[in-house]
């Protein structure tokens, strides 16, 4: 459902803060015109941007809506260390949540939209413990917010594919049940057989003609080897532009020459990368990836769940985290983080966002003197627009 | 000026979230009693803690109130890279701020108090360019908030001591004019003569019988050498408990054996350490420092100034940053960050905070199910109490 809208008094980014504010007209869900003091066409609703900065809306390119506990009573972190223990801890606990997956995912997706994201790629855990229950919850959340955001769902084998019999069949069922993308997880480090793991993933992708998004925490040369394995399959199956590597810690844990090779490889195969800007990990080589033309998005990861207490549904806060963790002080670098969090993530989802005429009217208005100031302030979003319709205002859904 | 106060309905930390809320009576600026349903003594004002978590108030153990632009129109970051360029950039710009130092420092100190900090150690730049102007501004801010917070001011040679003739004399004048502590800055890496630099600093400390707080960004063995030089002077002048090393990047840039030696050396000489939890630097060995008994505080550093766009006056946000940067998920570790941000920083200033009877009634009430939840939420503080008087409520000064 697309809409018509006149947004008054905003300052498009990039732009000179000293320039007068402009109005932006949206028609049929697209940006139609930008100018000072535009007339309101008959029947078109008008809203006030209050002089805020106008950005393309945020994309959360890597969320786990299925596990969120945002808004529920806080539970102390109960997991020990290590991925296997985190997986087991989630299994021990997720069924005891005060609400089901659908209700929790719907709440957090709503907070994410209110924070200015109108494109979201969420993983939904598919495994022999939960079957398709988590996927169904995330699909219900997507349906609940269908008019407010475009949501892609990844059938995500959080517990590996080969370690537990029946997971590959569940992934197949998940893709038939509405998942858009097939996931993978540390084919070597966790699932213990990188070739077979990736062969299952890409076979499913071929069968369902869908994209791939592989979690790759494996570091160093083992992680780098798996980046190569992914790219080999992209080439063999002609899947350029349809594959994402999430986290990709390998890129920041090899020497600079190897890093350059991997970045070039990703660019050559048009394999996208997403980061969640983890606090304690070495940051990805953001500039190198962008210079090479690699599509690079930002995500929230888990949002206050059995895995981690962090995350709040706010992609502007996440952009702040990316900038701060990288030690960026220059406005151009902070703005690069905003670009990763908006257009960058959208490109990972195969969408082109912008503010020019004909671009999708997926927009967010943020209070602040400049984009960098807005990142530092992280104030509630003035307006969030999806497909030409206001979906949130002053930090709350409408 | 101390006060009497009854704080109703709070959950003291540490404590069991399932326990009933209690009331806390403050008398003459001290915690006098804690219990369920305390009677209000005649003439004692009562305030509602709304079931929030009660903590000792925050201490900002390392601020630069003299340079802040918080609340003023945002200016793009105009410095190039490197400490010398940052220093020069500040010199080129600080006089053109829309408000003077006193007004700016007063505003940001107010925001810091509203965020729950009632103890602050602020550096005030003393150099041949600005003379004592910045110090006077910070002293004026301290005076403006004298009833709301305890503020220590460091006479800080931001431009070195030996590089510009007359700085040592200005530091001496600053200590006569009201500064409490004498500062230093990278005695080797910036001022180029670690022995002479530290001899000037410690000679001033001896003359004025004041504490010392040295910025030490120098890394690796050069930084470690200067930690030793500081400790030698502490021993020679019997200054245990009165010296702080700020940043102390050396600790996280040497091998683990050398790190252990340095931590032991700091503990032996009771030299405190402060961190601002920078995004792109390796974190300090927080647990090792605390296990060894080293007093360890947290600070905001610059707060949206010509040095950096970051900082917002919120020490709870800074505690979040410390936890996130260290990858802490366990509640005990997140709570350790809160302890560093409260009691830890107070200990750096030679103050003992707590919630037990007889402790100073410097308290903050934060909404949240638990302390960790409060850190994650970073909601406006319900109440801030200094010396038994409410100084801020719901995120605003009273």
Q: How high is the pLDDT of residue A260?
A: 98
Say whether pLDDT at A1 is over 80: no
Regarding whether A336 and A200 lie in a shared domain, the answer is: yes
Look at A330 and B77 and tell me if their CB atoms are within 8 Å: yes
**Interface membership of A68 toward B (CB under 8 Å):** no
Tell whether the model's pLDDT for residue B162 goes beyond 80.
Answer: yes
Q: Tell me the three-class secondary structure of A336-354, residue by residue.
A: HHHHHHHHHHHHHCCCCCC
Interface test with chain B among A18, A83, A279, A372, by most B beta carbons within 10 Å: A279
- What does DSSP say about strands B383-386 and B363-366: parallel, antiparallel, or unpaired? antiparallel
Question: What is the least distance, in Å, from the CA of A150 to any CA of chain B?
Answer: 27
- Res A2 pLDDT > 90: no
- Considering the domain architecture, whether residues A389 and A326 belong to the same structural domain is answered as no
Contacts of A327 in chain B (CB under 8 A): 278-281
Q: Mean pLDDT throughout A142-168?
A: 98
Nearest to B325 among A74, A279, A323 (CB): A279
Instruction: Look up the ipTM and state it.
Output: 0.97
Q: Do A308 and B329 touch (CB under 8 A)?
A: yes
User: What distance in Å separates residue B10's CA from the closest CA in chain A?
Assistant: 17
Chain A interface includes B370 (CB < 8 A): yes
Same domain, B362 and B224: no
Q: Where does the pLDDT of residue A17 fall: very low under 50, low under 70, confident under 90, or very high at 90 and above?
A: confident
Question: Are A364 and A286 contained in the same domain?
Answer: no
Q: Are A62 and A299 in contact (CB under 8 A)?
A: yes
Whether residues A67 and A115 share a domain: the answer is yes
Cβ distance B337 to B375 under 8 Å? yes
Do both B90 and B190 map to the same domain? Answer: yes
Interval A277-323: pLDDT, tens: 999 999 999 999 999 999 999 999 999 999 999 999 999 999 999 99
SS3 B92: helix
Residues of B in contact with A322 (CB under 8 A): none
Q: Is the same domain home to B75 and B101?
A: yes
- Least CB–CB distance from A279: residue in B278, B324, B370: B324
Q: Which residues of A fall within a CB distance of 8 Å from B79?
A: 329
Residue position matching structure tokens 């054996």: B257
* Number of domains chain A is built from: 2
Question: Which residue in B has a C-alpha nearest to residue A279's C-alpha?
Answer: B325
> What's the CATH number where B375 sits?
2.30.40.10
Among A367, A310, A271, smallest CA distance to B325 is for A310
Structure tokens at A274: 């997403």
Q: What is the pLDDT of residue A16?
A: 86
Q: Chain B residue closest to A82 (CA)?
A: B329
Residues B161 and B257 in one domain: yes
CB-based contact (8 Å) between B308 and chain A?
yes
Residues of B in contact with A331 (CB under 8 A): 76-77, 309
Contacts of B324 in chain A (CB under 8 A): 279, 310, 321
Whether residue B344 is found in the same domain as residue B391: no
Share of chain A above pLDDT 90, in %: 98
Q: Is A197 helix (H, G, I), strand (E, B) or coil?
A: helix
**Mean local confidence (pLDDT), B50-60:** 98
CATH number for the domain that contains residue A138: 3.20.20.140
Q: Identify the domain containing residue A387 by its residue range.
A: 5-56+354-397
Domain boundary among B348, B363, B387: B348
Closest-CA distance, A307 to chain B, in angstroms, reads: 8
Kindly give, in sequence order, each residue whose CB lies less than 8 Å from that of residue B158, ignoring residues fewer than 6 positions away.
B87, B90, B123, B125, B126, B127, B185
Selection from A60, A115, A57 nearest residue A364 by Cα: A57
Degrees (nearest 5) of the Cα angle A187, A191, A196?
60
Q: How far away is chain B from the Cα of A376, in angstroms, using its nearest Cα?
A: 6
Contact A74 B329 (CB under 8 A): no
**Is the CA virtual torsion A376, A378, A381, A382 positive or negative?**
negative
Q: Are A376 and B312 inside 8 Å of each other by CB?
A: yes
pLDDT band at A234 (very low <50, low <70, confident <90, very high): very high
Domain-terminating residue out of B330, B348, B366: B348
Mean pLDDT of A173-191: 98
Going by C-alpha positions, the residue among B102, B121, B238 that lies closest to residue B180 is B121
Position B17 confidence tier, pLDDT thresholds 50, 70, 90: confident
pLDDT digits (tens, 9 = 90+) for B253-300: 999 999 999 999 999 999 999 999 999 999 999 999 999 999 999 999
The residue from A318, A333, A348 where one domain ends is: A348
CB contact (8 A) between residue B77 and residue A370:
no
Residue A104 and residue A226 share a domain: yes
User: Are A251 and A301 in the same domain?
Assistant: yes
How many CB pairs below 8 Å do chains A and B form together?
Answer: 83
Q: Do B210 and B178 form a contact (C-beta atoms < 8 A)?
A: no
Q: Given the DSSP bridges, would you call strands B243-246 and B211-215 parallel, antiparallel or unpaired? A: parallel
Are residues A119 and A152 part of one domain? yes
CB A25 within 8 A of CB A44: yes
Contact status of B287 with chain A (Cβ, < 8 Å): no
Residues of chain A in contact with residue B334, where contact means CB-CB under 8 angstroms, are 309
Binning pLDDT at 50, 70 and 90, where does residue B18 land? confident
Could A331 and B77 be called an inter-chain contact, meaning their C-beta atoms sit closer than 8 Å?
yes
pLDDT digits (tens, 9 = 90+) for A46-86: 999 999 999 999 999 999 999 999 999 999 999 998 999 99
């Amino acid at each position: 459902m697309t809409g018509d809208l006149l947004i008054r008094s905003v300052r498009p980014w990039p732009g000179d803060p000293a320039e007068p504010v402009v109005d932006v007209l949206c028609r049929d869900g697209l940006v139609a015109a930008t100018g000072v003091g535009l007339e309101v066409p008959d029947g078109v609703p008008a809203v006030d941007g209050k002089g805020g900065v106008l950005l393309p809306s945020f994309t959360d390119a890597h969320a786990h809506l299925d596990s969120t506990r945002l808004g529920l009573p806080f539970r102390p972190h109960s997991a020990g260390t290590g991925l296997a223990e985190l997986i087991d801890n989630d299994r021990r606990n997720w069924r005891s949540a005060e609400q089901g997956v659908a209700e929790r995912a719907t709440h957090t997706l709503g907070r994410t939209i209110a924070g200015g994201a109108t494109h979201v790629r969420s993983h939904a855990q598919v495994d022999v413990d939960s079957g398709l229950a988590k996927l169904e919850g995330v699909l219900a959340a997507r349906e609940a917010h269908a008019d407010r955001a475009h949501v892609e769902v990844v059938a995500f084998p959080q517990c590996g594919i080969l370690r537990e019999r029946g997971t590959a069949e569940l992934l197949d069922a998940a893709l038939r049940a509405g998942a858009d993308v097939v996931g993978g997880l540390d084919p070597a480090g966790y699932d213990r057989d990188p070739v077979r793991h990736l062969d299952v993933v890409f076979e499913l992708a071929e069968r369902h003609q869908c994209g791939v998004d592989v979690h790759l925490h494996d570091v160093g040369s083992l992680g780098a080897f798996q980046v190569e394995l992914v790219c080999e399959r992209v080439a063999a199956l002609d899947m350029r532009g349809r594959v994402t590597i999430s986290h990709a810690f390998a890129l920041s844990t090899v020497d600079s020459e190897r890093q350059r090779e991997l970045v070039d490889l990703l660019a050559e195969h048009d394999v996208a990368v997403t980061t969640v800007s983890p606090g304690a990990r070495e940051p990805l080589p953001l500039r190198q990836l962008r210079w090479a033309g690699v599509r690079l998005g930002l995500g929230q990861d888990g949002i206050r769940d059995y895995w981690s207490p962090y995350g709040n549904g706010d992609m502007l806060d996440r952009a702040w985290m990316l900038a701060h963790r990288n030690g960026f002080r220059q406005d151009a670098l902070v703005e690069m983080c905003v670009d990763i969090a908006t257009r960058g993530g959208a490109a990972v989802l195969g969408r082109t966002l912008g503010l020019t005429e004909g671009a999708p009217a997926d927009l967010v208005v943020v209070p602040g003197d400049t984009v960098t100031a807005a990142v530092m302030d992280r104030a509630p979003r003035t307006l969030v627009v999806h497909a030409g319709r206001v979906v949130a205002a002053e930090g709350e859904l409408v």
